[in-house]
Amino acid sequence: MARILLLLPTTTYRAPDFVEAARALGVEVVVGVAEGDTLGPLPGERSLAVPFDDPAEAAARIADHDAAAPLDAVLAVDDVGTVVAARASALLGLRHNPPEAVAAARDKLVMRRLLDECEVDQPRYAVLAPGADDDAVAAAVAHVGLPCVIKPTTLSASQGVLRADDVDGAVQVTARVRRIAADAGLGPDAPLLVERFVPGPEVAVEGLLVAGRLHVLAVFDKPDPLDGPAFAETIYVTPSRLAAADLAAVAAATQAATAALGLTEGPVHAEVRVRAGRASVIEVAARTIGGLCGRALSFSTGRSLEELVIRHALGMALGDTRARGASGVLMVPTPRAGTLRAVEGVDAARAVPGIVGVDITVAAGKRVVPVPEGNRYLGFVFGRDATPARVETALRRAWACLDVRVDA
């Protein structure tokens, strides 16, 4: 029986889906958990304590474990574990991405520089050094142009990402983004990125790299415009309704970006803006889509996204790698900061035709914070129907059923 190590940070949503996929494939699972993780291992799974913040030490521990119980793959389910998985897999001779490529995908500034070197279409950008004053902000804005987007280099899920439409606004946004970055644990020496805002529809690309070649699994439309000032995502729907030329440009840009970063194996999640056949790469991550959004996808013989990723890691046949049918997901947004009292109307949302699941992932009594200060959604609503338009309609109807109660 094949054996895999799944790296599961404390905050991940993804553990049950990956473990279930492994079990469906008859694969033994060892769970790599953060040191001091109070959640402990999943029921029925062996665990290994892993220092996610020290990839070299983590890889050495995984190698020691392999000596006693050989591993056939090491997989990270979220950004936090990707560098550890790459280093451990390289050490053990397993299928992997180069560790430096994965590290580049986790740092937006390094990513921008590598895409620039390879002439991959992306937003014009500038760097704000720690402690940059108002004049430095104005100079950065003058370089990239207006409107612009200011963001930390290492956060995800739209946390700390804000648009500015003039220089005074950029100065104010910079101060706010620095506060968000500090609250998220980034040190005082962390730089910020200033990027030209790219107009046009944004899509999410879900792909799988095999020996450097990108297999596009799905392209999600984001029908709610992401024009700022913050960039909280709501609805994803696939297959995309973009023109064929735009979709070809999106695939080509994503392939070029992965090559520029040096990624060669495993899942890819990319955010791309496209307009009139020209695609601009916003971000590339060496992982699957975040949260529970992967549940929106289904492949040949009912395989899940997680099954495809595990099959690839183990060198198993992939079968059809194109998502089947029209489907989508609503990421339930947080209306304001405070204590979540309840999400009402869940049963009504589930009863909407075309809705196949509703999962509220934040428990009542927990403090919640919306984007851009926060980075988590209240839950996920899944739709499946005959066409993308009908899926979108179902998701919007379900959303209208939900009444989110948050006390200040």
Mean pLDDT score across all residues of the chain: 94
For residue 54, the one-letter residue type is D
Q: What does the pLDDT read at residue 112?
A: 98
**Per-residue model confidence as pLDDT tens digits over 239-277:** 999 999 999 999 999 999 999 999 999 999 999 999 888
Q: What does the pLDDT read at residue 177?
A: 97
For residue 267, the one-letter residue type is P
What are the distances in angstroms from CA 331 to CA 106, 221, 272, 288?
23, 14, 19, 16
Q: What does the pLDDT read at residue 11?
A: 67
In sequence order, which residues have a C-beta less than 8 Å from that of residue 5 and are 6 or more positions away? 29, 30, 31, 32, 48, 62, 65, 71, 73, 74, 75, 88
> Residue 22 corresponds to which tokens in the numbers above?
């492994």
Q: What does the pLDDT read at residue 134?
A: 97
Residue 164, beta-bridge partner list? 148
Cα–Cα distance measured from residue 116 to residue 121, given in angstroms and rounded to the nearest whole number: 8
Cα–Cα distance measured from residue 250 to residue 121, given in angstroms and rounded to the nearest whole number: 11
- Could you say which residues of the chain have pLDDT below 70? 11, 37-45
- What domains can be seen in the chain, in order of their start residue? 3-96 (3.40.50.20), 125-196 (3.30.1490.20), 199-324 (3.30.470.20), 325-408 (3.90.1170.50)
SS (H, E, C) the chain: CCEEEEEECCCCCCHHHHHHHHHHCCCEEEEEEECCCCCCCCCCCEEEEECCCCHHHHHHHHHHHHHHCCCCEEEECCHHHHHHHHHHHHHHCCCCCCHHHHHHHHCHHHHHHHHHHCCCCCCCEEEECCCCCHHHHHHHHHHHCCCEEEEECCCCCCCCCEEECCHHHHHHHHHHHHHHHHHCCCCCCCCEEEEECCCCCEEEEEEEEECCEEEEEEEEECCCCCCCCECCCCEEEECCCCCHHHHHHHHHHHHHHHHHHCCCCEEEEEEEEEECCEEEEEEEECCCCCCCHHHHCCCHHHCCHHHHHHHHHHCCCCCCCCCCCEEEEEEECCCCCEEEEEEECHHHHHCCCCEEEEEECCCCCCEECCCCCCCCCCEEEEEEECCHHHHHHHHHHHHHHCEEEEEC
The answer to whether the beta carbons of residues 94 and 73 sit under 8 Å apart is yes
